Structure 1
Amino acid sequence: MIIAAILAPSVGSAEIYRWVDEAGRVHFSDRWNQGSEKVSTAPKTDADAPAPALPQPDSPDVEFLGPYSALDIIAPAANETLTQQDAGLPVSLMVNPSLMEGHQMAILLDEAPLTVASGATQFRLTGTALGSHRLQVRVTGENGSVVAQSAPRRFHVRKPDEPGQLR
């Protein structure tokens, strides 16, 4: 019994060698042989396993929530026509839960990214040209990959009415 306890640590730290003979058979031994290579006996940990691939959106035109329960554009409404204003066009977003650590949010206006200051969900777009536009929210992870995105939203911008003009 005492001998087994003394030998147990040496068995756990024994080196194992692997080689293939002339007939193609694989052999293992605790002794080195010519042409053998040392085999790692360290137990694998979760740190050794590759990180699982995060799902990605199938298309840039579909909603993909990823780790969020909600990611949406509240304003402007779908196909809403807004009047161009000096103060800018109001935009309101919903992100639930709030932006996660390491994630960055960007607004895509006609496919061009506009960075949103510190995950703000209320702001104004300035300098927006007259006509139809496409707006989308995209959240990226630390490595720059898309982790969530809203469905695109179309809206329209027109000139303000002239004084006395009827609509």
Structure 2
Amino acid sequence: MTRCLFLLSLFIPLSVQAEIYRWVDAEGRVHFSDQRIPSAERLDIQSGRQIQPPPAPGPNSPDEHYPGPYSQVALLTPTSDQTLSDPAQGVAVSLYLEPALVEGHQLRLMIDNRVMVLDRNQTQLRLKGLEAGRHRLQIQVWGPDDRIVAQSASRIFELKLPSAPGELP
């Protein structure tokens, strides 16, 4: 009798159904749950299929402007393609972030792919020690999970050595 029940159970299709919901919160984080949330989308999960998680929200390229949860993330100075001619004075950098930096986020200034972590409310600074030549500058906002949540478009500017008196540029 036990054998018959066991064999019979092999032929009865088992139906397992679970509803999974996905939503993105105000800070751009993706969540999954088996509980329905008003703004969530229901995912169609079929047994036996491998599902790739959706890509984390973020910029599509390292140079593009991506405001993320901010309305404005911008470098005000130096301007694009600006030529500066006094390296000793340094490069004045001014940035704008609206609204203010979210708790847990961190400002980072990218200078030629080098990282400079900024103080929480630092929006004005002077870069010294840059060599003559073209430089790439960008502001990024990093989240607590160590990923970019917002960034400005990158800026290219040039730093030239000043001409000596009596010398043509």
Q: TM-score, normalised by structure 2?
A: 0.67
Query: CA deviation digits over 1:54-111, x for unaligned, max 9?
Result: 5111111110000010111100011001123434210000111111110001111111
Change (3 A) 1:159 1:54: same
Cα displacement (A) at 1:53: 7.0
For the pair shown, the structure with the greater C-alpha radius of gyration is: 1
Q: Residue 65 in 1 paired to residue 53 in 2?
A: no
Residue deviations 1:86-143 (CA, integer Å, cap 9, x gap) = 3421000011111111000111111111111224110000111100011011111001
Q: Which runs of 5+ in 2 are unaligned?
A: 1-7, 16-22, 24-30, 35-53
What are the superposed Cα offsets for residues 34-54 of structure 1, whole Å, 9 maximum, x if unpaired?
xxxxxxxxxxxx99829x975
**Could you say which residue in structure 2 is the equivalent of 1:49?**
33
Q: Return the match for 2:85 from 83, 86, 90.
A: 83
CA separation in 2, counterparts of 1:58 and 1:81? 29
Q: TM-score, normalised by structure 1?
A: 0.68
Partner of residue 155, structure 2: 153
What SS class does the counterpart of residue 120 from structure 2 fall into?
helix
Listed as ranges, the gaps of 5+ residues in structure 1 are: 1-19, 28-45
Q: Give the fraction of aligned pairs with identical amino acids, expressed as a percent.
A: 36
Which of 120, 128, 140 does residue 130 from structure 2 map onto?
A: 128
- In 2, Cα distance between equivalents of 1:66 and 1:48: 20
Aligned residues: 131
